Each structure stands twice: as structure tokens, then as C-alpha cells.
Structure 1
Amino acid sequence: MSERREGALDEATIEARLKAELPAWRYEDGWIRRTYKTAGWKSTLMVINTVGHLAEAAWHHPDLTASYAWVEVRLMNHAAKGITDKDFALAAKIEEVVGWQPGAEGGPLEGTPTDPRFAYVKYDR
């Protein structure tokens, strides 16, 4: 993927941007990817629906793979046949929303309780 096609980024640029902007994401097989670990099926469905809402609003649709306690999000611009700024923009919004931890902000929202009965996303930060 060394040439630019319709705004497609080269591999070195993709790797550098992932490192700087989206360190939990990786570049593999022509896609930028992120796996979100969840506490179970209910949480997995909430992550899928969240990603679906953001993708539909952005009109840029990822591929998703899911199991009981994880969701993998894969982004690639099919029209450009590669990774573009659109992929980075949607990945950043997904990361912001799915990774949001209100309790860590110190405001009035407490965030998900640590009680396993109410567990949601397994945050890596």
C-alpha cells in the first residue's frame, strides 16, 4: 500500500498516525482495527449499537465482528481502497464515545459501578 489512491494513506503514515492519535488501534491486513473487551453479551450489544449509531451518522460504515465479551471494529475506505482521513475521524469518535468514563472526569456523573453485576466495557486506561 505504498501509493496513494483517492486519498488513501501510505502504510508509514497510517502507522505514525495510529501511534500518535489512536494508540489502542492497530493496522492489519489493510484495515485499522480495535478490539473492545466487554463484561458480557449485553455490553457487547451496547458497544455494537453505539458504533452503529456513530457510523450511520457519519455515513462511513465499519466491519464488525463480535462474540460474547468482545467487539472488533475494522475500518477501511472501500471507495479509496485503503485507509483515509475518514477512517481516522470515525475511529477517533468511536474511541471517544465507547471509551468515555464519566466517573474519571470528576463531574456529577459517577460512571459505571465497579460491581460486576453492572460491568460494561473493560477500559484499558
Structure 2
Amino acid sequence: MARLSEAGLDAWYLEDGWLRRKYSTDGWPTTLMLVNAIGYLCEAAYHHADLSVTWAKVWVKLKTHSEGGITDKDFALARKIEEVVLWRPEAGGPLEGTPNKFVQAKK
């Protein structure tokens, strides 16, 4: 798991040959926004995640099918997903940020 930590992916884990992450949200509207954001990043990267979606949770699974396992592509996409979906405006900046729980950063 050292590689996950070194890659800044502490909340991600390896299971059954996949790089995985569970995100919790504050409800269905945020879940849909999260799925769309991940979908956009996957399409832009041309490297597609498997997603499982419920009312307030999204599970992301990554592996490179053509290579039969997890590659640098998966780590790069996981980092980009993490960066984008957990982004919040900095305190004291011009953007206020949502008061809602939104997407929770915890594992």
C-alpha cells in the first residue's frame, strides 16, 4: 500500500485486481454531479472507470483492461479524480464554497 500513499491516494485501496475508492455524498443530486464529473475525466483521459452508484455513495474501480491489471494510467486517473471531486475554494478567497456536506473526503 506504500505506492498508494506515495501517490497521494490514501483513501484508495487495492482489491481483486482493481484500484478502488468509495465516495460518500450528501444525497442523490451530489451523487449525480460526482458521477458526471468522474465520467467527464474518464472520457477526457480516454481511460474509463467502472462505477457503482447508490443514493449517497459512488464506488470507483480502475484497472487497465488491455494490460490485465493496474498501471500508471490508473494511478494518474485516480489522482485527477481525487483532485477534482474533492476540490473546495480556499478559505478567505473570492469563492464562498457550498455550505452543504457535498462529497466527503473521508475513506
| Smaller-chain TM-score bracket | over 0.9
| 2:4 aligns with one of 18, 30, 37 | 18
For the pair 1:99 / 2:81, whether they are aligned, the reply is no
- Kindly provide the CA deviation profile for residues 66-120 of structure 1, in whole angstroms up to 9, marking residues without a partner as x: 1000000000000000000000000000000001011x4532111111xxxx442
Query: Which amino acid is the alignment partner of residue 120 of structure 1?
Result: F
Cα 1:85–1:106 change in 2 (3 A) is farther
Q: Which one scores higher on RCO, CA 8 angstroms, separation ≥ 6? A: 2
* Residue identity (%): 58
User: For structure 1, which segment, 77-86 or 17-26, has the greater mean C-alpha deviation from structure 2 after superposition?
Assistant: 17-26
Structure 1 residue 64 and structure 2 residue 46: aligned? no
Separation in 1, partners of 2:18, 2:54: 19
TM-score, length of structure 1 as denominator length: 0.80
Matched residue, 1:8? none
Kindly indicate which of the two structures has a greater share of residues assigned to strand: 2
**Runs of at least 5 residues in structure 2 that lack an aligned partner in the other structure:** none
Distance in 2 of aligned mates of 1:62 and 1:105:
32
Task: Tell me the C-alpha RMSD between the 2 structures.
Answer: 1.5
Aligned residue pair count? 106
Q: Which string of whole-angstrom CA distances, capped at 9 and with x for unpartnered residues, describes residues 29-82 of structure 1? A: 000001010000111000000000000000000000010000000000000000
Query: Considering only CA atoms, is the larger Rg found in Structure 1 or Structure 2?
Result: 1
Structure 1 unaligned residues grouped into runs of 5+: 1-14
Amino acid at match of 1:109: L
Distance 2:64 2:92 in 1: 37
Q: How does 1:1-125 map to 2 (within 5 A)?
A: 15-21=1-7, 22-102=9-89, 104-113=90-99, 118-124=100-106
Please list every run of at least 4 consecutive aligned residues from structure 1 whose deviation after the TM superposition is greater than 4 angstroms: none
With the length of structure 2 as denominator, give the TM-score of the two structures: 0.92
In structure 2, distance between residues paired with 1:105 and 1:63: 34
1:20 partner letter: E
